[in-house]
Chain A
Amino acid sequence: MKKKNFFGRLNGWVRRVFFGGSRDLANSIDVEEVVSPVGQIVRNFLERRLAVGALIVVILMFLLVFFGPLFMPNYYDSYTEVTQKNVAPTMSMMKVPSGLKNDIKMIDSYGSFSVGLSNSGDVYVWGATQLGTTGIDIGEIPDAVKEDTIAYVAAGIDHIIAISESGKVYGWGSNKHGQYITTDKEVLEQLEEAEESVSEEDQAILEEAGASSSVEGEDTEALEETTEETEVAATSASAGENIIAMPDELVNGTIDVANIKKLVCGYQCTAILMNDGKLYIWGNANAYQNISSFVDKDDLTDIDFTLNYVVGLTDAGTSIYTGKRGLYDQYRTNINEAAKSSKKFLGKRKIVSIYATNNHLCGMLSDGSLFFTGNFPNDSVAMPALHDGETVVQLEAGTYHYTALTSEGRVLSWGGSTLHQTDVPNGLDGKVTKVFAGAFQSYAVNDSGKLLDKWGLKGYLFGTDGNGADIFQRIIAGGKMTMTIGAVAVIISTIIGIVVGCLSGYFGGTVDIILMRVAEIFAAIPFLPFALILSAIMAQMDISENKKIFILMCILGVLTWTGLARMVRGQVLVARENEYVTAAKAMGVKEGRIAFRHILPNIVSIIFVTLTLDFATCMLTESSLSYLGFGVTYPRPTWGNMLSGSNNSTIIKNYWWQWVFTSIFLAVTCICINIVGDTLRDVMDPKSDRDK
């Protein structure tokens, strides 16, 4: 009972504050309704639907920007991910096609798309299938592949390799760096089309921007020749760039499918390992420094790709072979401490198989235990402890994470967790017979090949930028920065403006003249160029990033106060002549007190309007500065510098998501703030004619 009373009273207060005195009372005693000035302003404001909408948008934007970061604990400014560059907006990275859902044989992925194979031999591709500026849609599976029964598939960063039951090796996607060589007419046509769609001019600009790698005339020539004679093509392609060509026997002939042990794709490379130790490996040799030492290697029992190195497991099972680099196989020729300890660790056990992520690898030993080696980033989650007697039955490696199935039927994920790779859902234990790991996804499958559950990266709502960072998260973090800078700058400029305006207007005379001359000087400074010079000089100074941003806020604030100061001065000049000021003077109130305590409150509404409009201006100025490459710089995001990469037509056209969403956020915020400010000005001005 008491509580209700309390709320009732509270409600009454709120109503009185905003809507003036009690209407019931006013009605009952039959007097004209009394509305407070604030109430009138609020009422007038609420009548304008556009302004109310704009206000709501601004508030929502504020909430999103200031509370959004709380919901993205994994976010940090300098995040980069090389395999997720320029991914188009999609949420389908984990969306296994319905045809595959109940019949999964294998799933693989490396970059932004995944490839799956059903038990009936059909290939499915999902995820962000549009390959950047190449104009190729890898989701368009060639007819030859569709008609054939496929036995193995694997996906690289921009190509897919499939092997049919009959031993034919198919490849599609990009082949600019020797990812595959094909005689399939359909694939060639698609490549040509894609080539045409990306004009030479575009390519030149892109190369300048460093967004794409080179296409040489030789390559295209090589492509045309392949239709007629593949051998020539193979040699000329490999001569053109640092490419290890696909073995001729795979291009024209077939492979012994029963004998295949493993098909695995790396960045732009592919390796096929046979049961007898024979290894086929080809692709872009620039992507893997040690790939050349694997060519013609025939004593490996396992192979996998990390980000920069190919790792193999030798026949003996006692060392991990990396060729030239010789990090893991040193003790065979030259015994040193590291090698000794690794030998000691292994003891009599042997390495059975290896599973490589981008920067670390896991090996399974002959006694069923696991070992790890490599660099583990900070976000890595430790491997969950196994129960006594429990062993890992099946292990799969993604780009940073591992997913394993244990002998007790438990499903475990560990390793990199930034993109939710390790969030294993509940209720899977005991039902799963097989797990698959995509690049950042994991899939759990039961006996019959039915997909039970999946976890990991769904995709990016707004796509990713040139560094592989999620644009949505950067927009939120950037908005926080932009708005904070705008707000602090506006507060600084308002304080200066009010103080100078009040002093100048109230005291007049010499003070007025001096202050107004100072204001004139500041107003004469061309704003953007001056801010540019200051931030360019600041960039050379040896101060911390936070300090630079604070100084930037101060620069913006100090350069924008003159308008407000003049307005306040004008208002004070008017207010000074009012009777209440004369009365205050007569009562002996000090002059400073009159200026700030008596006159200032009367001009607060005008200050408020200017503050709102100036906020938008400061935000825009900061964005312009950052857009031009000054102001706040990468990796710290602001809405301005997120757009600075988008000033060439190729990126504008091909990576539209990199500017559209940021622009929308920036534009909508500014427009809404301006609408609110404009409407406030109209509403607060008692002289303004409503019909105007």
Chain B
Amino acid sequence: MGKYILKRIGYMFIVLVVMSVLLFLIYNLVPNNRAYTDAKADMTAQKTRLRNASEEEKDKMFNDLYLEYQRRYGTDTDNMAVRYLRWVGIMPNYYGTYSGLLQGDFGYSYEFKDDVINVVQEPLKNTIFINIFATILALGITIPLGIVCAVHKGSKGDQAMQVITIIGYSLPTFVTAILFVWIFCSLLGIFPPSGMKTPGSNYTGWKWFVDRMYYMALPLITMTFCSLGSMTRYVRASMIDALSLDCIRTARAKGVTEKAVIYSHAWRNALIPIVTLVVGWFLGIFGGSLIFENTFGINGMGKLMIVSLRTQDFDVVILMQLFYVAISLIGNLIIDIVYGLVDPRVRVSA
């Protein structure tokens, strides 16, 4: 097991490196020159002092500044490999200091006028906040529903659920979002259509929580609804598989109550594939949803991504993308490990 995990971590590391190279190359496709922008800004700041300077002096000064910034940011060379290594923080820049991802220097957001690492914090908190509720809600509904459908498979109710769930997972999420805004805001008028808190309010404590939940209710309902379809089908399928096992027949034959058969014997067997899914899902908490956060105006990771893309704030975008990649890799690893733990039959051969 230990060897297997080590090997997986090794692969993960390779994948991460390859992805970072890929992202770095994409990042360099963007016409975005931080050194140039900063040098220009410095020149503008010194405008009054340079009033009497001649054009040549100005040019020279600008070029000096530009070179200095390039050296500081490690972009004073055309060698992509060197630039990449500096970006990661393995090679020192011109002045001999290390300032890369490994040292925690993730870049600067021109849109928010702050270091990227600070920019990401608030949206990440919001995203985690809402996604924890969404996940708990979704799991709380889908698992019982899936079990009931599996137990009564082929019945009218099950068939109806089959159709409903296929609609649920085929409906584009933004269509569901629009539909729910229409139903809950326009027709019923019980929830606010967008936003995070009552405008102008400054609540704290419990009141803050209630206000937040009031605004989060509609996004939560929508997110839960959208995840119902696929999860219910998944639970149902694995439960049906579990119910057709020989051990279930044996248990029934020896007179175990139906309840015990379902919840004790079958459910434990069905849990194996479900657990992996749930783990993966919990990791999705950090990612945030591009569509929901944009439709409902939630200041989360997905919204930040779109805003940064629109304003061409690529330092933020690249960091977030790396973050997403890291999360999905860690998720895969955890799923594999959990799979081995939950199901002793699974041989984790390297």
A residues contacting B by CB (< 8 A) are 50, 517, 520-521, 524-526, 528-530, 532-534, 536-537, 540, 616, 620, 623-624, 627-630, 643, 646-649, 652-653, 656, 659, 663, 666-667, 670-671, 673-675, 678, 691-692
Contact = CB atoms under 8 A, between A and B. Distances in A.
Interface string B142-177: 000000000001100000000100110111111101
Contact of B31 (A540, A623, A643, A647): A540
B128 interface: no
B232 to A, nearest CB: 14
Interface stretch (B11-19, B73-81, B259-267): B11-19
A532 B11 CA distance: 26
B299 interface: no
B332 interface: yes
Contact of B174 (A520, A643, A670, A691): A643
B329 interface: yes
Contacts of A673: 170
A529 B172 contact: no
Interface in B56-115: none
B15 A647 contact: no
Nearest to B326: A524
Contact of A667 (B170, B321, B329): B170
A537 B26 contact: yes
B245 interface: no
Contact of A659 (B170, B178, B321): B178
B294 A526 contact: no
B39 interface: no
Given A521-B15, A524-B325, A652-B185, 18 more contacts: A517-B15, A525-B19, A526-B287, A526-B324, A526-B328, A529-B290, A529-B324, A532-B305, A536-B312, A536-B317, A537-B29, A623-B174, A624-B174, A627-B172, A628-B290, A629-B306, A647-B178, A649-B185
A649 B328 contact: no
Nearest to B185: A649
A652 B178 CA distance: 7
B320 A524 contact: no
B309 A536 contact: yes
Contacts of A630: 309
A671 B166 contact: yes
Contacts of A50: 163
Contact of A537 (B11, B30, B324): B30
B17 to A, nearest CB: 10
A128 B171 CA distance: 31
A627 B317 CA distance: 19
5 contacts: A526-B325, A628-B294, A647-B295, A652-B182, A678-B166
Nearest to B18: A521
Contacts of A536: 309-310, 312, 317
Contacts of B317: 533, 536
B179 A663 contact: yes
- Kindly name the residue among A630, A667, A691 whose own CB sees the greatest number of chain B CB atoms within 10 A: A667
A649 B186 contact: yes
Contacts of A537: 26, 29-30
Interface in B227-254: 240
A529 B310 contact: no
Contacts of A627: 172, 174, 291
A678 B230 CA distance: 13
B194 interface: yes
B193 interface: yes
A524 B329 contact: yes
B175 A666 contact: yes
Contacts of B26: 533-534, 537
Contacts of A624: 172-174, 290-291
B247 to A, nearest CB: 19
Contact of B240 (A653, A666, A675, A692): A692
B181 interface: yes
- Kindly name the residue among B154, B170, B186, B317 whose own CB sees the greatest number of chain A CB atoms within 10 A: B170
- Kindly name the residue among B31, B153, B193 whose own CB sees the greatest number of chain A CB atoms within 10 A: B193
- Nearest 9 A-B pairs (CB), nearest first? A649-B193, A653-B186, A526-B324, A671-B170, A674-B170, A536-B309, A663-B175, A670-B170, A649-B185
Given A517-B15, A526-B324, A534-B26, A671 B171 contact: yes
Nearest to A659: B178
A674 B194 CA distance: 31
Interface string B324-341: 110011001000000000
Contacts of A526: 287, 321, 324-325, 328
Given A537-B29, A666-B172, A671-B170, A647 B19 contact: no
A649 B188 CA distance: 12
Contacts of B305: 529, 532
Nearest to B154: A691
B127 to A, nearest CB: 13
Contacts of A528: 290
Contacts of A647: 174, 177-178, 294-295
Contact of B320 (A529, A629, A659): A529
Nearest to B324: A526
Contacts of B153: 692
A616 B170 contact: yes
A667 B186 contact: no
Contacts of B29: 537
Contacts of A643: 174-175, 178
B18 A653 contact: no
A667 B193 contact: no
A292 B1 CA distance: 86
A648 B295 CA distance: 8
B332 A524 contact: yes
Given A517-B11, A630-B309, A529 B178 contact: no
A570 B31 CA distance: 43
A525 B325 CA distance: 6
A628 B332 contact: no
A532 B309 contact: yes
A525 B22 CA distance: 11
Interface in B1-30: 11, 14-15, 18-19, 26, 29-30
B182 A667 contact: no
Contact of A674 (B166, B174, B185, B312): B166
A526 B185 CA distance: 32
Contacts of B194: 648-649
A390 to B, nearest CB: 56
Contact of A628 (B15, B186, B306): B306
Contacts of A517: 11, 14-15
Nearest to A528: B290
A629 B171 contact: no
A675 B19 contact: no
A524 B326 CA distance: 8
B182 A653 contact: yes
Contacts of A529: 290, 305, 320-321, 324
